[in-house]
């Protein structure tokens, strides 16, 4: 899975997964160009030995600029967040299609050798996710198309665009469908955080504020599978280096309910909390998990970090951020 001594653009590299990917690629003497719309002070990780640009990649000229003399593009950029964000910002999420469009066009113009697009499990047909515990979603379950409104449609459309840019222009593309990636150095408050980070924060604050309750969106019975970020990066690089050109699941099949996740966090934190259910809040699909048979077959890849171990690392990092014990210095 090693990529070495290449000129690589990470679009959205100031974000969560993009930051971890940059950290990995820099260890192998790659020349990184990192582009993100956020001010640099808000990047989750910042690397002084990369070329760092604050740009809006919905603008084609900006996409042309950052892809110049680049070998590989990893497009991790999009306007996204947890369920609360994507259900209430559908138009904003769909505008991310401009990022992928412009990066693909610019990659063809600048003769980029290979292009990676980070898709999502939200691209899957929602009618297959109505039960609490479901069989893992297989790649073919995206069709007939009925993805989550807004964000899911943008991802599915952008997947197709990658396919057609390969067919029409010869641009080699790879597409990963990520399933609920979590871990340190990510968003844990402010409205864009996903369930693992949100629950880690809520449990930690219940201790710090001496209030033994957490608020849960929905009834707590909705299920997901969650993938630790280091496993996500490894799966991403294996897919990128493979000959497989169709959308591929990068996820875990360890499916748990939100209530079960709370129990894991109670064990990690050494506390017990009362749950206040908020039935009027966004909940998303009832159940979702990843089938990784194809990833194992074509990549020989399988996640290695179990949920409890990954949550412990994530909880401890968030607790330290909240207490300023080890306030994160993003500059590396």
Catalytic residues: 151
Question: Which pLDDT tens digits describe the chain residue by residue (332 residues)?
Answer: 689 999 999 999 999 999 999 999 999 999 999 999 999 999 999 999 999 999 999 999 999 999 999 999 999 999 887 777 888 899 999 999 999 999 999 999 999 999 999 999 999 999 999 999 999 999 999 999 999 999 999 999 999 999 999 999 999 999 999 999 999 999 999 888 999 999 999 999 999 999 888 999 999 999 999 999 999 999 999 999 999 999 999 999 999 999 999 999 999 999 999 999 999 988 889 999 999 999 999 999 999 999 999 999 999 999 999 998 666 655 55
Strand 223-225 to 255-257 pairing: antiparallel
Is the domain 7-181+229-251+290-303 a CATH 3.40.50.720 member? yes
Q: How many CB atoms lie within 10 A of CB 58?
A: 18
Query: According to the model, what pLDDT value does residue 326 have?
Result: 62
Say how far apart CA 332 and CA 329 lie, in whole Å: 8
Query: According to the model, what pLDDT value does residue 82 have?
Result: 75
What is the SS3 assignment for 328?
coil
What is the SS3 assignment for 293?
helix
Alpha helices (runs of H) in 110-228, residue ranges in sequence order: 151-169, 195-208
Concatenating the DSSP letter of every residue in 207-227 gives: HHTT--EEEEETTS--EEE-E
At CB < 8 A and 24+ separation, what contacts does 143-146 make? Answer: none
Q: What are 181's two structure tokens?
A: 């990636």
Query: According to the model, what pLDDT value does residue 283 have?
Result: 80
Taking a C-beta distance cutoff of 8 angstroms, is the pair 162, 117 a contact? yes
Sequence length of the chain is: 332
Q: What are 58's two structure tokens?
A: 């919905």
What is the SS3 assignment for 204?
helix
Q: How many CB atoms lie within 10 A of CB 213?
A: 11
Continuous segment of H or E residues that includes residue 277: strand 274-278
Query: According to the model, what pLDDT value does residue 329 have?
Result: 55
Spell out the domain ranges in the chain: 7-181+229-251+290-303
Query: According to the model, what pLDDT value does residue 325 have?
Result: 66
Query: According to the model, what pLDDT value does residue 1 have?
Result: 66
């Amino acid at each position: 899975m090693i990529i070495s001594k290449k000129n690589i653009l990470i679009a959205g590299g100031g974000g969560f997964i993009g930051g971890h990917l940059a950290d990995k690629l820099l260890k192998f003497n790659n020349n990184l160009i990192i582009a993100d719309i956020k001010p640099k002070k808000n990047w989750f990780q910042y690397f002084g030995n990369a070329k760092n640009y604050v740009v809006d990649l919905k603008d084609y000229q900006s996409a042309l600029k950052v892809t110049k003399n680049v070998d590989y593009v990893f497009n991790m950029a999009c306007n996204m967040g947890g369920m609360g964000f994507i259900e209430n910002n559908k138009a904003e999420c769909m505008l991310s299609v401009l990022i992928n469009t412009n990066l693909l066009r610019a990659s063809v113009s600048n003769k980029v050798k290979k292009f990676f697009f980070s898709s999502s499990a939200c691209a899957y047909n929602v009618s297959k996710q109505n039960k609490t515990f479901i069989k893992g979603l297989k790649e073919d379950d995206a069709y007939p198309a009925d993805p989550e409104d807004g964000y899911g449609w943008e991802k599915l459309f952008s997947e197709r665009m990658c396919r057609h840019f390969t067919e029409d222009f010869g641009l080699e593309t790879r597409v990963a469908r990520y399933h609920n990636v979590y871990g340190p150095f990510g968003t844990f408050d402010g409205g864009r955080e996903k369930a693992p980070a949100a629950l880690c924060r809520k449990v930690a604050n219940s201790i710090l504020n001496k209030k033994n309750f957490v608020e849960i969106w929905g009834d707590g019975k909705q299920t997901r599978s969650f993938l630790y970020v280091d496993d996500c990066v490894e799966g991403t690089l294996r897919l990128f280096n493979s000959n497989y050109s169709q959308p591929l699941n990068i996820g875990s099949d360890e499916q748990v309910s939100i209530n079960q996740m709370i129990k894991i966090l109670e064990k990690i934190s050494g506390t017990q909390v009362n749950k206040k259910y908020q039935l009027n809040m966004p909940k998303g699909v009832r159940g979702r998990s990843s089938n990784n048979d194809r990833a194992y077959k074509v990549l020989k890849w399988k996640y290695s970090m179990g949920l409890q171990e990954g949550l412990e690392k994530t909880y401890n990092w968030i607790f330290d951020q909240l207490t300023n014990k080890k306030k994160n210095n993003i500059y590396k």
